[in-house]
Amino acid sequence: MSRDSVVLGALTIDPTSTSDLYERVGYAALAEVGLISYHAFRAELERLESTGAVASETGSDGSTMWSLTSESAVEAGSIRDDE
């Protein structure tokens, strides 16, 4: 299991806050890939954003919201490319 697969596996095309994603991944998976530190988890999201796999936006409450880009969602099979 890689950091990429753990984080990308928790994301969808629907924006989700950093803290909700952290909870969605779960402690066991975070421990396995060395992302228990919230700062390390957020840094991994930012790294994935820099590759174009993940998008971020600011939520109405000021929190950062993360989602798969449409290209990465198609690759992951989350959406079909003919939709």
Which CATH number goes with the domain that contains 14?
1.10.10.10
Cα–chain center distance at 10: 6
Domain count, the chain: 1
- In the predicted model, is pLDDT for residue 80 greater than 50? no
pLDDT at 70: 76
> Which residues have CB under 8 Å from 74's CB, separation 6+?
80, 81
Q: What is the mean pLDDT of residues 52-65?
A: 95
Domain around 32: 3-76
Within 10 Å of residue 77's Cβ, how many Cβ atoms? 7
Is residue 83 a part of any domain in this protein?
no
Is position 45 within any domain?
yes
The whole-angstrom separation of Cα 57 and Cα 82 is: 25
Query: What's the pTM value of the predicted model, to 2 decimals?
Result: 0.84
54 located within any domain: yes
Closest CA to 21 of 57, 79, 69, 67: 67
